[in-house]
Amino acid sequence: MRPYDAILATSSDRPPFPNGSSHERWVPSWCERCGHDRSLYIDGGCPIAFVACEGRTPTEWVRDGDGYTCTEFVEDRGWDTPVPEPEPDPAQGSLDGLIDLYAADLKLEVAV
Ligand code: SF4
């Protein structure tokens, strides 16, 4: 899954639903059955849903009748099934780079 900033940058500035009732009819079939929604309790939640909550339509939501198909949906199979890891954000530094940075500050050599 793309990071929040990338999803926001490519989203439409139009609200995904005309009213709260449409949203409430769609969510039980999608986000409430999705492993990414469960990640709310692990890593803060689904960035696609966060963008939608800001009144924007993510490109991951493809128009389907009077609702959407979410291209990132993964069936939630319960707490024993790991949630897919998000794709790394290329704008963020790597852990290796961070370790090198601290090692340089401390004048240490670290074998990674
Ligand atoms: S990936 Fe799609 S269906 Fe799943 S929680 Fe996010 S927005 Fe909802």
Gap from CA of 75 to ligand 1 centroid (Å)? 10
Give the pLDDT confidence of 20-65 residue by residue, as tens digits.
899 999 999 999 888 887 665 556 789 999 999 999 999 999 999 8
Q: Domain range for residue 26?
A: 4-106
Q: Is residue 112 part of a domain?
A: no
Q: Is residue 33 part of a domain?
A: yes
**Cβ(4) to ligand 1 under 6 A?**
no
Q: In terms of pTM, does the model score above 0.95?
A: no
Phi and psi at residue 19, to the nearest 5°: -160, 170
Identity of residue 56? R
Q: Is residue 57 part of a domain?
A: yes
Strands 67-70 and 61-64 turn out to be antiparallel
Residue 35, pLDDT score? 84
* Atom number, ligand 1, closest to the C-alpha of residue 46: 6
- The yes-or-no verdict on residue 70 having pLDDT over 90 is yes
Q: Is residue 44 part of a domain?
A: yes
CB 92 within 8 A of CB 102: no
Q: Is residue 111 part of a domain?
A: no
Gap from CA of 88 to ligand 1 centroid (Å)? 18
Cα–Cα distance measured from residue 28 to residue 103, given in angstroms and rounded to the nearest whole number = 48
Q: Is 39 helix (H, G, I), strand (E, B) or coil?
A: coil
Cα–Cα distance measured from residue 103 to residue 83, given in angstroms and rounded to the nearest whole number = 32
**Cβ(47) to ligand 1 under 6 A?**
no
**For the chain, what is the domain count?**
1
**Cβ(51) to ligand 1 under 6 A?**
no
Q: Is residue 66 part of a domain?
A: yes
104-to-57, 72, 96, 101 alpha-carbon distances in Å: 44, 40, 12, 5
